[in-house]
Amino acid sequence: MKPHNVSDPRHLDTIFKPAPTSLFSGFAIAALFTAFLLCGCKEVPDIPEDDLTIGLEGWEISKSTYDFDINPRDMYFVNENIGFVVGYKGKIYKTTTSGTTWQKLNSGTTIHLYSVYFIDENVGFVSGQAMSGCLDADCDKGSVFLKTTDGGDTWTKTFIPEFIRILSLKFFDPMNGIAVIHKPDISSSRDEYVATTSDGGSTWNLIDLGIKPYSYELFYVDNLVFVAGENNQIFKSSDYGHSWQTISTPVEANHDVRNIYFYNENIGYIDGISHIYKTIDGGLNWEETSFPFTYFGTFHFSSENEGFNIQPIAVYEGLDFPTFKGSISYETLDGGITWTKSELMKSLYLGLTFFPRKDLGYGFNFSEFSIIKKKE
């Protein structure tokens, strides 16, 4: 399944206007506050530090702090024990103890890293790009692509100068993979493409879907790949991304599908501009839901009926960037027909999330690691 659930960062532009000179503007602010529910309210009631089980009757959330600086950008767990997190300045950390301890790996670069994917405990891939102000010798060589065959002990490094950024990596085997590519196109407004590789990431073939993918993320479930698109469409592939089926949605014309979540090949949800829609036949038909929220935060189902959505809340209080205030959770036991809403959980912000099993997930933010576990 897809590593983590995030709301599209471009959605923030409609509800939050940071100062244009902020260091957190553009892509950085989008990554920092991805999945935040922002509001114009001047203050949020002071809520005491909470029990993290509030509002999630079927789940337990435990937190721990880590003592290294990484500015995390992506996370992947091979299984419940072995996981990797990547971030700025070429940093890669690995855990073999379900996040209780972390080991720094030598990536061989200080370029910012944005995506990570592992086929098994040994074979994995990482991609990144240089940002303004980069002083690394690799800074002017384009996107960096790293591959390991020994669990991260050593990495081979490839540069793809024509690409700005490679995101949302997924590999089906050591040679065949798919990603979202950022490539400047001066002849049009398009700069985002789906791309496939058949040589382990050395070269990439751009796929023309007719429109650019709306979000930076692909969604994976079983052997299927989904991508959210512009103009109320999504696309589905069952052959490593070589061919695609266009799926129409009831999202309003000329609006975009912001996020996709599929529990299996049939049951799925999409996040439109102000509504969430559900399908039970793989996207052939959709129905508008009456969910008490209008976009995905950390959105996850452990079964066809049991799921939750955790929405972080930040408030713009006249600063260059918003202040995190906590999270609100929603939980359903009947496939989304009814939801239980929690009170504001002041101390909970999951950040990046990944679910190696449907009953187990991990969260990683700027200072804390969380375990999200289904109660027995």
Q: What is the dihedral of CA 288, 294, 295, 296, to 10 degrees?
A: -80
Concatenating the DSSP letter of every residue in 100-145 gives SS-EEE--S--SEEEEEEESSSS-EEEEEE--TT--STTGGG-EEE
Q: Which of 27-41, 136-150, 189-203, 260-274 has the highest mean pLDDT?
A: 260-274
Span 319-353, pLDDT tens digits: 666 777 778 889 999 999 999 888 667 777 888 99
- How many residues would you count in the chain? 376
Residue 254 corresponds to which amino acid? N
b (16+ CB within 10 A) / e for 125-139:
bbbbbbeeeeeeebb
To the nearest 10°, report the CA torsion of 323, 325, 326, 330: -100
Nearest to 110 by CA among 83, 122, 92, 94: 92
pLDDT band at 28 (very low <50, low <70, confident <90, very high): very low
pLDDT at 173: 93
> Cβ-count burial of 159 within 10 angstroms (0-12 exposed, 13-18 middle, 19+ buried)?
middle
Residue 250 pLDDT: 86
pTM: 0.82
Provide the mean pLDDT of the chain.
Answer: 79
- CA atoms within 13 Å, Cβ hemisphere of 171: 25
Q: How far is CA 374 from CA 60, 76, 347, in A?
A: 6, 19, 20
Measure the CA–CA gap between 126 and 119, rounded to whole angstroms. 12
Beta strands 307-315; 37-39: pairing state: parallel
Element (DSSP H or E) covering residue 273? none
Mean pLDDT to the nearest integer, 139-147: 78
**pLDDT above 60 for 29:** no
68-77, 222-231, 265-274, 341-350: range with lowest mean pLDDT: 341-350
Q: Which among 66, 5, 52 is positioned nearest to 368, based on CA atoms?
A: 66
